[in-house]
Every structure is written in structure tokens, then in C-alpha cells.
Structure 1
């Protein structure tokens, strides 16, 4: 499955306006956050069952995320494996929260995502491969050693974020968790890649671009 992709040129999909791409990727999360702040203290009677604002917002977020991902696929012609797996987990855990009227399922979702990604990267490392390279090589070409170092570090970060998510949703309020999910997790990934500048300088590849 993974050996052929490294030799063949990657399908980058059709170009898309970067602003539109950002709206489709992050818009549902921003809307979830805004809707939660507006509805967090309300309860809704639906079919004889009382639902808190968090569950109602989750029920709206899941189809919105599906639609935005499908729109991204329609416009670009491709989705990464990470996007597909993330969407599946959102549908499963979001659906379970709504079905059982239990917000804990949706709060577990980031834990499952980071455990899955960390586990996949770890499995690749055990095989002496960087699965991260398959996903990100077109964005930042690196030497083999650079990919292995970056993969080990990101694998550790994924597991750390899974632990952090578990601690926060179990020990803190729902509102604190929503802030953490919306801003904390995004900031953590941004800071991680910002701190890898030295690695990108040391192991970056540029000379291949002149051979055509």
C-alpha cells in the first residue's frame, strides 16, 4: 500500500482559492464555537427528550462538516487520508453523542483522532518508514533522515495531545474543553511546526527542483 506512492508522482488535485480552502476546512469549527457560546445555557425539547445546547450544536456540526468536506473534494478532486479518517470519526462520535444524548462521546473524538494518527505514524516507524512523508512530501521536501526525525516528534506530539484532551474533558468544564478544542489544539500543532524550523533548514531539499 505505501511503497508505490513514494515512487509515483502525487496527485495534488485541482488548484483552489486558498481563502475558500481555509473557509471549508476551518469554517465548521468556527461556527461550532460561535453556536456553542450562544446556546450553551439553553435546553431544547425535541421529540419528548431534553437536549442541552452542546448536543444541539454537535447535531448541526456533523452534517456541516460532511458538507464542507464533500465541497472540498468536489472542488479539488482529492482528499487526504487524514481528512477522510477525521471525518469518519466526527460522524461516528458526533452521531453517538446525539443518539445517546451524551456529550462525552464527542469529547472523546480528538483523543481517538490523535491516537489513530499517532498509532499509524508509530507503526510506520516500527517498519522503518515515514508515513508522514506520504501525506506531506509535496509541501516540504526533506531528506530521509529528516522525515524520520519529524515523524518521531509528531508521533510523540499526537500521543501527548490525546492525553491532554482526556485530562481536560474529564477534569474541566465543557466550556473549557470547547476553548481547548477550538484554540488549544490548533495552537499546539502550529507551535510544533514553528519549532521545527531548524530541522527544515538542516534536512530540506531544494536542488531537485532544477532537474526537469
Structure 2
């Protein structure tokens, strides 16, 4: 799948959430977010014949917390969903790290190949970043209006995540496993 299509499938549900919330309010926005997230996951499955781990987990949380929001008519649940997801991701990465496993490799290992030290650094950095996002989400939803929180969710979290990802480029370059190249002298002579 092209990176642009992947971005649309991951960011599209957030755009739907923002637009519907702006025009019809948080409850309608939440319902639309649940539907758009499910459709994006189904499209991802149809295109790749696999379900990416992070979007799958996120979809489960969107359906759970969005369902609670609609069922109980309380927007608290959709507001704490990013906190719960980010805490889960951070705890998972820290737990793996404590056991000497770099679980971020499970998510990114098909895209890139790094030496263990690179996976260790990325695991630590992403775990702390997820904790930061959880804290930011808590601060924003507790201190600002619902519409301001939605704006932060759409225009704050996604750009911060993209920026953080780009800032990891030096680690990726430094610890990338180089593919083995062919011997410049050519193949060994045939034995006869």
C-alpha cells in the first residue's frame, strides 16, 4: 500500500471526526468517528490482507470508548480514549523493554531493519512519547472546551506524532542494517 493511502486510512477518520463534530456536535462526531475508523480498518484489510497492529488496537478503543460515550451520553469517554490508548502503548513498550524485547520491532520490523541498539533506542523514545501524549491529552480535555479538545486531537496530536517520527531519522540512519552487496570482483570462478 502506498504511504499516501496509508496516511489517508489513518488520518481520514480523524478528519471525519473533526468535520462532523464541527457541524453536528461531539455525539454525532463520535458516531462518525466510530464508523470511519471501522471502514478504514476494513479497507486496510481488503488492500493488504492483514490488519496492522496499532490501527487495530486503536479501532477497538474507538469502538469501546465511543460506544460508552454514545450509550451513556457522556463525552468523557471519547476524551479519555487517547489517554488510555497512549498509556497502553507506553506500558506495552516499557514492559517489553524490561524483558529485553523491543516490541516496536513487531510494528515496524516489516518496514525497516535495524540493529538491536536502534530498536532499543526507538522503543525507549516512543514509550516516553506515548506517555507525553497521554499527559497532554489529559491536560487539554480537562482545561479546554470540547471543541478545543477536538482541535487539539486533530491538529495537535497528529502533527506532533509526525514531527516526532521525523526526528527519529538520525537513529534510523545510524542503526539501519545495510543490505549485503555483491562482491565487486564478481562471482567466484566456476570449479571444473
- So what's the TM-score if we normalise by structure 2? 0.89
The one of 89, 96, 100 equivalent to 2:68 is 96
Partner of 1:195: 167
Partner of 2:35: 63
1:192 shift after superposition: 1.1
Distance 1:195 1:19, change over 3 A: closer
Partner of 2:7: 22
Alignment of 1:118-157 (within 5 A): 118-157=90-129
Partner of 1:36: 21
| Aligned mates of 2:63, 2:105 — CA distance in 1 | 27
Partner of 1:75: 47
| Aligned mates of 1:88, 1:18 — CA distance in 2 | 23
**Could you give the per-residue CA deviations for residues 73-128 of structure 1, whole angstroms, max 9, x where no partner exists?**
12210012222111110000000000011001000000011001101000100001
- Are 1:86 and 2:58 matched, yes or no? yes
| Aligned mates of 2:4, 2:124 — CA distance in 1 | 31
Larger Rg: 2
1:17 shift after superposition: 4.7
1:210 shift after superposition: 6.1
| Aligned mates of 2:181, 2:76 — CA distance in 1 | 48
**Could you give the per-residue CA deviations for residues 43-80 of structure 1, whole angstroms, max 9, x where no partner exists?**
xxxxxxxxxx2112212221221122112112210012
1:162 shift after superposition: 0.4
| Aligned mates of 2:72, 2:60 — CA distance in 1 | 18
Give the aligned length.
183
Runs of at least 5 residues in structure 1 that lack an aligned partner in the other structure: 1-15, 40-52
Name the stretch that deviates more: 74-83 or 143-152: 74-83
RMSD (CA atoms)? 1.7
- Are 1:165 and 2:137 matched, yes or no? yes
1:23 shift after superposition: 2.8
| Aligned mates of 2:181, 2:66 — CA distance in 1 | 43
Runs of at least 5 residues in structure 2 that lack an aligned partner in the other structure: 184-192
Partner-residue secondary structure (3-state), 2:50? coil
